[in-house]
Amino acid sequence: MERFDISVDGRAVPAEPGQTIGAALHAAGVRSWRSTRFGGRPRGLFCGIGVCFDCLVEVNGRPAERACQLEARPGDEVSTS
């Protein structure tokens, strides 16, 4: 399989086969995609092994998916809000 795009908040983000959504975002220069409820501090990849909840995104309508653990697939629709 060759490189493909995933949609993140309507923006095309390139991904490599076997790459997680979090890794694709990081490679595209995106370091945070959500913020804390109190204080608005940025959150993105932190532990990278699925222990924390800093990298949560909605993928294809499924809420609370860990971007660091979920492999990107062609056609994925990711929402960070």
Q: 2-17: per-residue pLDDT in tens?
A: 999 999 999 999 999 9
**Closest-CA residue to 31 (of 20, 41, 42, 39):** 42
Q: 28-43: per-residue pLDDT in tens?
A: 999 999 999 899 999 9
- pTM exceeds 0.85: yes
The residue ranges of DSSP E strands in the chain, in sequence order, are 4-8, 11-15, 34-35, 42-43, 56-59, 62-66, 77-79
* Domain 4-79 coded CATH 3.10.20.440: yes
The CA-atom distances, in angstroms, between 33 and each of 2, 28, 69 are 26, 12, 16
